[in-house]
Amino acid sequence: MKCFRIVAACAMALALVFPWAAPAQKPERWTLTILHSNDTHSRLQAVNRFDSTCTDKEKAEKQCFGGMARLAHKAHEILDEVKAAKGNALFLDAGDPFQGSLFYTHYKGKAELAVMNLMRYDAMAIGNHEFDDGPKPLAEFIRGARFPVVSANIRAANDRDLAGRIRSSVVVTRGGRKIGIVGVTTEDTPSIANPGPNIRFVKAETALRPVIDRLRRDGVDIIVALSHLGLARDKEIAAAVEGIDVIVGGHSHTLLSNSIQGAAGPYPVVAKSPRGSNVLIVQAYAYTRYLGRIDVTFDRKGVAQAWSGDPIPLVQDIPEDPKVAAEITRLAGPLEAVRTRVIGAAAADLVQANCRKEECLMGSVIADAILDKVKHLGVTAAIQNGGGVRAAIGKGEVTMGHVLTVLPFQNVIATMGIKGSDLVAALENGVGGVETGAGRFPQVAGMRYVWDPAAPAGKRIVAVEMRRADGSFAPLDPVAIYKIATNEFMRRGGDGYTIFRDRAIDPYDFGPGLEDTVAAYIQARSPIAATVEGRIRTK
């Protein structure tokens, strides 16, 4: 104790005689620049306005956007500017780099890993699509990542591939300030991906509170939640969990902006914590179309005082990072023969932007293709989840690469018998998550339905009609058995379609590949066209 007093007295004396020897005081105002991406979905190369891989023709017409090389260039241009001005910055990703193009189909995450390592992210959250092929690809990704991969609400101690690999948070230091970055992953992952039986996803609020408390005890006074929950859940987290300053979000593919036409809300969305502090929520759409940037000024206690920013459109005039571009070119080499194979043409744009809330052209084409493929088996209707339609196809030449971008999940067609009342229950599930942009919204063929958006979830289906052999429609019979087709993911209970898993009659989950089925359907009917027919109507 005497030694401690002597050391303390000496320290005080030094501080009085030599003020510069005293511990540095935190500045009154301190600014952090956060650059962020989310839901890049294997779009390593530039995309077109439909979020599919950009063609040479579109490139010549300057109709391309994004791509990881362009995103990397813009991010590091800004990071260099901030550094030159002696500022502070982070570069973050809110999850779902997996799944969405032939790069993932072929390399199973290794291509995304190689590119993101070159881009030098500071941290990444785990998204649900990182589990599409089970835990092993994610485990290999984490093992090779040169940046922290975080999620606080995944419990993987019983999984042989992921046990001990997932960090709940990471602390980084910028300008003498400690910043805690904590990740969270959508709790719906078991029903929309394939994490397996040994991994649990606990409620985000439950997982976040102890991690944030620990970070605060360790002297961290700025907390960034790197969230793959979606905007609606991010707002709930902000209101329920004290201590978060900024939520960098993903999963819902939401464009927040103060200047871009069609944005879903302001950038940032300003929420209030349980004690009334400001919580800033940002998200930057998906598919590498934008780089998010927010500049936040904090006071000495780490409370946000001012902020500004907006997503930056990654237009074609922005250069590409040469190292990242070269790596993508190398990885693309083995894929070109498959990607560039022409399978047909589209007479008009087959859009998909509204597949999660209403009848959409790309969804109708896919449902029609499914039904056409298996109608010889007595199948009379087909259902495709809107969230499984990942891109559109533009007017003109259609390649296998386009189809693989639209349908990247390597699903197969599943068939089953289903009682009429159970089919209605399945449709109720499908329209029950429209408010949150859930991917379960049902696109259909061989049937049509009316639903009421104003009714409570579970009571929205107003009418269902099934197409008869002569092409006319008749009201669904609740006690009749119908033979329908869907994709294997839905038949096994994915996207909340547990009624298909539990009540299917004589199910068969090993049909032809969905992407090959759609490619053949387009090829046989080129130039293919589609129109909105009233398959799905609202009351």
Examine the pLDDT at 9 and tell me if it is beyond 80. Answer: no
Going from the C-alpha of 301 to that of each of 30, 32, 276, 306, 498, the distances in angstroms are: 10, 14, 15, 14, 48
Examine the pLDDT at 481 and tell me if it is beyond 60. Answer: yes
Euclidean distance between CA atoms 111 and 507, whole angstroms: 36
Mean pLDDT to the nearest integer, 450-457: 97
Q: What long-range pairs does 499-502 form, CB within 8 A, spacing at least 24?
A: 499/418, 499/422, 499/425, 499/426, 499/429, 500/416, 500/418, 500/426
Examine the pLDDT at 486 and tell me if it is beyond 80. Answer: yes
Give the pLDDT score at 352.
Answer: 87
Examine the pLDDT at 1 and tell me if it is beyond 60. Answer: no
Give the pLDDT score at 14.
Answer: 40
Q: Give the chain's radius of gyration (CA, Å).
A: 25
Which carries the bigger pLDDT value, residue 365 or residue 410?
365
Euclidean distance between CA atoms 456 and 449, whole angstroms: 17
- Rounded mean pLDDT of the chain? 93
H/E stretch holding 447 reads strand 447-451
Give the pLDDT score at 402.
Answer: 94
Examine the pLDDT at 11 and tell me if it is beyond 80. Answer: no
pTM of the predicted structure, to 2 decimals? 0.83
Q: How confident is the model at residue 346 (pLDDT cuts 50, 70, 90)?
A: very high
**Single-letter amino acid, residue 535:** R
Residue 527: name the closest of 343, 286, 321, 282 by CA: 343
SS3 percent helix, strand, coil of the chain, rounded to 5, is 35, 25, 40
pLDDT in tens, 347-368: 999 988 899 999 999 999 999 9
Mean pLDDT to the nearest integer, 397-406: 94
Residue 259 contacts residue 247 (beta carbons within 8 Å)? no
Give the pLDDT score at 412.
Answer: 86
- Evaluate the CA torsion angle 312, 314, 316, 318 in order and state its sign: positive
Give the pLDDT score at 24.
Answer: 52
Query: Read out DSSP for 133-169?
Result: T-HHHHHHHHHH-SS-EE-SSEE-TT-TTTTTT-BSE
Phi, psi for residue 145 in degrees, rounded to 5: -70, 135
Examine the pLDDT at 13 and tell me if it is beyond 60. Answer: no
Helix residue ranges per DSSP H, 375-442: 400-406, 420-431
Q: Is 178 exposed, middle or buried (0-12, 13-18, 19+ CB in 10 A)?
A: middle
Mean pLDDT to the nearest integer, 380-393: 96
Phi, psi for residue 349 in degrees, rounded to 5: -65, 130
Residue 128 contacts residue 41 (beta carbons within 8 Å)? no
* CA end-to-end distance (rounded Å), the chain: 79
Give the pLDDT score at 23.
Answer: 44
Q: Which residues make beta-bridge pairs with 185?
A: 228
Euclidean distance between CA atoms 51 and 287, whole angstroms: 6
Q: How confident is the model at residue 25 (pLDDT cuts 50, 70, 90)?
A: low
| Angle separating helix axes 110-119 and 322-332, nearest 10 degrees | 170
Residue 351 contacts residue 361 (beta carbons within 8 Å)? yes
Euclidean distance between CA atoms 243 and 257, whole angstroms: 25
Going from the C-alpha of 341 to that of each of 89, 286, 399, 522, the distances in angstroms are: 43, 26, 5, 13
Euclidean distance between CA atoms 478 and 476, whole angstroms: 6
Give the pLDDT score at 21.
Answer: 41
Give the pLDDT score at 192.
Answer: 87
Give the pLDDT score at 26.
Answer: 64
Domains of the chain: 32-332 (3.60.21.10), 341-538 (3.90.780.10)
Examine the pLDDT at 10 and tell me if it is beyond 60. Answer: no
Mean pLDDT to the nearest integer, 199-211: 98
Q: Count CA atoms closer than 13 A to 19's CA, side-chain side.
A: 1
